[in-house]
Amino acid sequence: MAVLHRILYKHIIFSVISAITAFMAVTNSFESLGLTLIGFALFVTWVWFHFVEESLDRTFAWLTFYGILNIFGQYVDYEGRLWPLWSLVILHVLLLIYRKQAAWQAVYLFVAAILSIGYLVNVTESWLSQRPPSIIEATLLSIALVAVYLIHRRSDLMWVSLLAVIPFALFEDSGVLLAVLIEVIALAYLVRQDMTRQRTIFAFIYFLVVQMTIYFIYVWDRLDISLFFLIGALIVFALSLGLWWRNRTRRDVTT
């Protein structure tokens, strides 16, 4: 009803009501209510996504799609570790159908970044002690993630495709390999954003979050927190100095 009111009356309050309702429905799990309701929820979400062109609505609808797909994985008793990544690949269909650049597409990268942190945090936890991924599944998922970039050739989707390292990194239980790979990706993302003269603020935040996550997972009991923040401050200062020096050498950039 909130979605229909949003389409008819176009008031933003119905977007908020729809988002809250979707969040409550997803977090209370559709799997106990049957496949029919999951299908109906997907249809209503598509109506919301298709008929309301505001970027905020499409962002809410996209996140609802993602939540419902993850619930569907629970409904079919998928016991592997990789369903959140499969859901991201499935939602690539929206990028194929709605090719026009829009603000909602940024949420695709945001969720990919959250997934990389989530897998890093939980790599040694019970959530990832489920059935280990098979070589075949890991290979197929990695190919699908790389295909997301190859189909569109958009530079921002390249960072989604780099999640292809996760399925194979999960075979190493300590998570050290995954931590190193994600840290390299975060640094490469920051450097590329600067080299292509795009906004670096989100890349910088992502890099810092990765550093904090690695610290709390692996160094909490071994390195005093004040020393960690000192080292982190020096890293940030060095990166800032490098980016500043690069901008200073550009003729078309003013201080």
DSSP state of 218: I
Per-residue pLDDT at 87: 92
Phi first, then psi: give them for residue 172, nearest 5 degrees: -100, 105
Phi-psi category of 223—alpha, beta or left, where left has phi over 0 and alpha has psi -120 to 50?
beta
Q: What is the pLDDT of residues 2-34, one digit of tens each?
A: 999 999 998 999 999 999 999 988 888 665 667
Count other C-beta atoms under 10 Å from residue 197's C-beta: 11
Q: Which residue has the higher pLDDT, 36 or 63?
A: 63
Per-residue pLDDT at 46: 94
CA–CA separation, 148 and 112 (whole Å): 12
DSSP state of 216: I
Cα radius of gyration rounded to whole Å, the chain:
20
Per-residue pLDDT at 161: 86
| String of DSSP letters for 117-180 | HHHHHHTTSGGG-SSPPPHHHHHHHHHHHHHHHHHH--HHHHHHHGGGHHHHHTTSTT-HHHHH
| String of DSSP letters for 33-60 | T-HHHHHHHHHHHHHHHHH---HHHHHH
pTM (2 d.p.): 0.81
